[in-house]
Amino acid sequence: MGLNARWLVSFALWMFPIAITLGVMFSIDAATGGKGIPKSDGGGSLVPPLNNGTTPEQRCDVFDGVETRVLKGHQAWVLTANPWGVNGANTGAICLNTNTNNNQTYGITSDPKSKFGAPFWSTTWNYPPKADGSVWAYPNIKAITDTRQIQQFKALDLNLGWAYNVGNANTTVITETNEAVLADNGPGNAHANVALDFFVDPDSGRSEQPDITKQGKFARAEVMIWFAAYGTSTFPLGKPDLTTTPPVTTYTDNHGRVFNLWIGFNKDKSTQKPVQVVCTWLPNTAIHTFDGDILPFLTKLTTDPKVGVAFEALQQANGYQGTLPQPTDYVGYIALGTEAYSTTGGQNVTFSVPNMGLEIST
């Protein structure tokens, strides 16, 4: 993609004041002459001077990320398009866009002076269905934080607002998620989720490594909190389909919303043996805003007897040698994003996160 096209797409994001929008759909086709999502070499930009302006950043089809520069004592972040399931085939594409603040501070909607806020960001993607139904990419924003044992946390307070929609116009602002458009019989026919991801391990170093291809060096457990699931092929490991398969247990948050737990395994591709336990919390309906402590989603795995009984049965049935997360295990990876499975006919969809903050208390 040429310089002018890159500038056009980025500028479409820059035009809308972050404080008063719920997200931006930018025109991919307009920026590329109708050829789909533009490609990017992943190049960065110069460090801007400290002022109250913003700097647009874009990454397309690359792992190269955008790391926020923040004042001392403020939460820092790294954002990436993360197309980990792409195998080199020239099909589909993804772009991640963000506006970083030149004053190196980020608030949240309820507290603009918060030290724990994140930059506005969005990702636009389109991919065809994979034969095995697996994920193409997990574009996300990851908290830069020290590894800590689960038992060392006092609270993990998450403040979140997001939107998902079909996106193909640079003058459209995402104000809400259009469930009908994203549905299987809608024009988007999107298969995706919105998920917060933890990786956990007894070893501090391994807890930072989610990649199960790193032989013997990856985290033992993955814990996910899904806030939405779209498409008939989008369901957690351990839940075989969209039928009434009962969950392992449930958790009710501080707003009375019920999350159901399923447990499954990530498997070695060559041997098909389970190598990483995956615990997924999924609400009964999509949750577009969340404000509360997410630590109970971790601690309940160590205290609820229903979880232990179900896991023991799964261990025996699958020949898994590992264990569930323990209070002394380390959390080394905390990220929020969307797992991109597929859309119909090359249709672009956009996931936007205009409001996010994470306050880690120990």
Helix (H) and strand (E) counts for the chain?
5, 17
Report the pLDDT value the prediction gives residue 27, as an integer from 0 to 100.
33
CA atoms within 13 A on the CB side of 24: 26
Q: Any idea where the domains of the chain sit in the sequence?
A: 3-361
**What are the residues facing 137 on neighbouring strands?**
340
Instruction: Tell me the residue type at 112.
Output: P
Distances (CA, A) of 271 to 21, 219, 267: 48, 18, 8
Note the pLDDT of residue 184.
64
pLDDT of residue 340: 95
Q: 3-state DSSP call for residue 152?
A: helix
Contact yes or no for 228/194 (Cβ under 8 A)? yes
pLDDT at 213: 72
CA angle centred on 19, ends 15 and 24, rounded to 5°: 45
Torsion of CA 245, 249, 291, 201, to 10 degrees: -100
Beta strands in the chain, from DSSP E residues, in sequence order: 54-60, 66-67, 76-80, 93-101, 121-126, 140-144, 148-149, 155-166, 191-201, 221-230, 249-252, 258-267, 274-283, 289-293, 330-337, 340-342, 349-361
In three-state secondary structure terms, 161 is strand
CA distances from 314 to 102, 311, 358 (A): 50, 5, 33
> What kind of architecture, by CATH, is found in domain 3-361?
Sandwich (2.60)
pLDDT value at residue 4:
29
Per-residue confidence in pLDDT tens, the chain, 362 aa: 332 232 223 333 333 332 222 222 233 333 333 333 333 333 444 556 688 899 999 999 999 999 999 999 999 999 999 999 887 766 899 999 999 999 999 999 999 999 999 999 999 999 998 888 889 999 999 999 999 999 999 999 999 999 998 875 443 446 678 777 777 666 668 899 999 999 999 999 999 988 877 777 889 999 999 999 998 888 899 987 766 778 999 999 999 999 999 999 999 888 889 999 999 999 999 999 999 999 999 999 999 999 999 999 999 999 999 999 999 999 999 999 999 999 887 789 999 999 999 999 99
Cα–Cα distance for residue pair 236/242, rounded to 1 Å: 10
- Helical H runs in the chain? 3-14, 28-32, 179-182, 296-303, 305-318
- pLDDT value at residue 345: 75
β-pairing, 140-144 with 330-337?
A: antiparallel
